[in-house]
Amino acid sequence: MDKWSSCGLKAQTDLASWESYKALSLSSIKGTINIPLEGILFVPDYKSIFTEEVISVELKDGKLVAEQKQTEITNDIWDGESLLDESVFESGYTDKHMLLLRNKFFKSCTFRTKLQKWIKDKNITLDDIKKRGFALATDVSQIVMVTTPNSLKYLKFAGGLSEKNIRKWIENVDNTFGVVKWDKGTKFFHGDMVQSSYQLLNTLGFDKAQAEELLKSSFDYITLVRNDMEFMRYHFTDAYVREKDGEEEPAKKVEDFLLSKMDFTEHYVDREVIKQFVHTIVPVTETCFHWYMNFDLIDVPNDMKKLVWEFTIDYKSARSYRKEKNGMLRPNQWQDLTVKVFI
């Protein structure tokens, strides 16, 4: 397996990159797709260079210092992206528009295009194609994919983009590419909303006040989830439905577990929840304890959590628990305890 995944290359001094790229063909996939290797056009990457005002973090006198300044930025505009003709999607992916593909030392986010139609409309010839890059195609009608060295990690270890190195890679792979993921519709609020990310928010350049204004509705929503148990149930079961496949399945199982074991409206908490999710127990008096649960959606100090339930541990409950632990408890040894639950 190690030899197969090495794609004919030998381990390099940059072991971090070597091991991560070697693992590309060993990770899990959702499916496969066939792309004829003679139909791939390899073209050079293009770098866009411009000046922009940024928050630059630099090492000065042994310390990391952030300052706002004009900086020259080099951006690889096709970083890890490829164009894929719509005909390739017909084998099981007709309703998809993006496929994240992997092969030996290859990783690319491919987008559905009318590549062959564009070639015909523009009267592009095979000679025109080969002036811009390299392909094994003997006819321009064979071209179904356009990619760059940023997607073909093999070239990083083989010495760069050249016909010789492309041929070496092709000798060690076949037409089968693994499909890691594809484009999907949003699941949030019945498809009406999408989830943002810090990468997107960072591009806006907001100051603190502007960020707070943008996020106000989100914080209000979180507060409502924390303070209203019925709304929390709505959030997890209806409004914020998670995907049911792939890496998000474990999160869905956790949500289902909490909803089945936690019901403050019925004055019931499963003992497993007590064991796993009581974050802090504070003895207020000898017979009164505060339990602070830890399933908040954001970090909240204990003094800001809300009292949602109060119950009593009587002799019968305590005796039952002691019995489970192979212990004994007499009535004169016990004084009822009051527990207040905060979330």
Paired tokens of 120: 């015909």
Asked whether residue 203 is domain-assigned, the answer is no
> In this structure, are 15 and 163 located in the same domain?
yes
Predicted pLDDT of residue 264: 46
* Positions of the chain with pLDDT under 70: 236-277, 295-299, 321-328
Asked whether residue 239 is domain-assigned, the answer is no
Asked whether residue 321 is domain-assigned, the answer is yes
Asked whether residue 165 is domain-assigned, the answer is yes
Q: How many domains does the chain have?
A: 2
> In this structure, are 173 and 47 located in the same domain?
yes
Residue 132 lies in domain: 2-57+64-182
Asked whether residue 200 is domain-assigned, the answer is no
CA 271 – CA 313 distance, rounded (Å): 13
CB 105 within 8 A of CB 4: no
* Closest listed residue to residue 317, CA positions, set 264, 262, 265, 271: 271
Predicted pLDDT of residue 252: 54
From 134, 167, 182, give the residue that closes a domain: 182
pLDDT, tens digit, 9 for 90 and up, residues 240-249: 555 554 444 5
Predicted pLDDT of residue 153: 93
Q: How big is the chain, counted in residues? A: 343
Predicted pLDDT of residue 309: 72
Q: 86 — phi, psi (to 5°)? A: -60, -25
pLDDT, tens digit, 9 for 90 and up, residues 140-199: 999 999 999 999 999 999 989 999 999 999 999 999 999 999 998 877 777 777 888 888
Asked whether residue 330 is domain-assigned, the answer is yes
From 182, 212, 242, give the residue that closes a domain: 182
From 182, 209, 231, give the residue that closes a domain: 182
For the beta carbon of residue 176, count every other beta carbon within 10 angstroms: 10
Predicted pLDDT of residue 14: 81
Full-model pTM: 0.63
